[in-house]
Structure 1
Amino acid sequence: MGQVILVTGGAGFIGVNFVHYWMKNYPDDRVIALDALTYAGNFASLAPVINSKNFRFVHGNILDQGLVEGLLREESVNTLVHFAAESHVDRSITGPDAFIETNIVGTHSLLKAAKKVWIDEGMFPQDHRFHHISTDEVYGTLGPDDPAFSETTSYAPNSPYSASKAASDHLVRSYLHTYGLQVTTSNCSNNYGPYHFPEKLIPLVITNILHNKSLPIYGDGQQIRDWLYVEDHARGIDLILKKGVVGECYNIGGINEWANIDIVTLICKLIDAKFASQPELKQKYPLALAAQAGDCKSLITYVTDRLGHDRRYAIDPAKANAELGYKPAESFNSGIEKTITWYLDNETWWAEILDKTYLDRNAKS
């Protein structure tokens, strides 16, 4: 048996991809995935590993400090990788309380549990790691010609979501300097890939096309993001756990800036081409009328920009490249092809989410 890793948010988008990556590359390690299975957590995403002898799923909340302490002791966990978070900016604008509770109070609960078991009780006083997943959004926004965010960029969060993540970053840092907890932090750019919850831009565009629904573009669509294929993110975290210096922060980016409207246009072009070359897709997705006609772009609709919408994010991963040997393996063209193919091949996974979301919204209305 190798090391034992506790992954919080292990049924969420990035967390579940990390679980799959780790189980594939380190089959002798034991992985425990903890997830509250809120709207963005999906137990079905764990199907490929659920019966593995070295995997365990625990349905629980990171706010339950006693549960986390028990898992650390029972499983002799010495590595905790913390993905669990409320992460959708739009939701943070309409309902910020959940972001404060999960991202700040929840992170603090985990830190207290780790300190108590690993340090106070002496289970792993030095040989442990608490790795915290953060976001480029804590740095604020960039102008068109500004250099990309580095690890020394000042924090300037502009939404309740990014403010809650910034606060959690500072809490993690404080537990190193005050208590000696062995921590590292990574700030990533926008992730995309399999198992992405359909409210986010790329899966929303794909699934809306397949239902012949409009493709909403905020403002002028010129908001720029640095896009990171989710498996590249998992590899970056792997390198931090293996080679990263305790107390350090590492930016994990895709070196891949795209305006939102250009991403949507590219997805439209690629799906048009797939429907043209794969006649069976017309039978599988009979509602996708624009795709069948080779005219997905006709679904694009411009809508009022959201409040406090940051204009540009970009990550400079030079430190991770120099110190860890990190470099994204996927180009955006290769990554988006894999992503579209995954969604076309996994309708059952996302259709169940969309059906549940529709029912939940109607129950509340």
Structure 2
Amino acid sequence: MMEKTPMAGYDRIVAHSFGGPEVLVVEHVAALPQPGGGEVRVRVEAAGVGYTDTILRRGRYVLYKGGLPLTPGYDMVGVVDALGDGVEGLRVGDRVADMPVHGAYSQYVLSPARDLVAVPAGVDPVAAVEVPLMGVTAWQMLTRCVSLPHGATILVVGASGAVGRLLVTLGRHLGLTVIGTASAAKLPLVEGLGATAIDYRRDDLAEAIRAAGGGRGVDAAFDAIGGTSWETSWAALAEGGTLVGYGMQDFLETGGPSSGVLAAIQRFNVTWNEDGATDGTNRRTIFYDINERRPRLPDEYRADAGHLLDLIAQGTLVPPPAETLPLDRAAEAHRRVAAGDLQQRLVLTPAA
């Protein structure tokens, strides 16, 4: 009996137009990509699926300038498969993590060697893929944007989301008291992570948060929604508290004009800081953007990602469990993210 010859090349997900999940299709590429100088080829074991991927697919992600066709995939973990000229410190077979922003929905990707973070031996790739985007975002907001003493109280808006779950988990790891908002159906999930859970649809939300914070409010709030959600989080701050914004989901969903975003950011960064300095509360705001911070402070990013991966390797940090799907179910994964009822993060396993 003749053995079946493996198909050459590799598969990836491609969108030839912006639109709904149906634009994501599997495309077979006849030849493997060859790494150039300073690059490595990575066989992708885990590619995270997140809200930002769905924005990229719809053509609304302002950081993407690559045009069409496009392959989504913000973060990934895989095994080094080939080395380009001049690459040092890496070997074929090393497991690595990266945040390419797009391109990870593929069995193979090319990555600059300087961007890769080593994954410790024994760390499952599905657990490790929580780190490059979600984990570092949560960790840097908790430790780089604010300085909180043990026992301080924080608010996590959207605590059942991918970053929200890690903010709760890492906040508890740091000894913080965590209040998390979520829909009524997801309150048990948030409570299971160790936070006090509050339904975000409450009419008296700011007052409820302040009450949960002992009546004085919260020392820091983390909010990626924007708009009226920022106003609620600002009102829930204690004296000297900090509101950290890290997204504007309301704008992305409503499709408002860019001028409205600029006005909102101006008010967030300037007006509210001025108000906090003059109204006697000493409240302040910070906007966190991992895509701005990582290239500016690459050593910091690598140190923080490496620290989180080490915590996973030690068993000190156990990321919330994820659900895995094969590469050809990428469109289904996007539909489920858009539905907003996920209890777990979805991870594609292209190498499988």
Q: TM-score by structure 1 length?
A: 0.35
Higher strand share: 2
Q: TM-score by structure 2 length?
A: 0.36
Higher helix share: 1
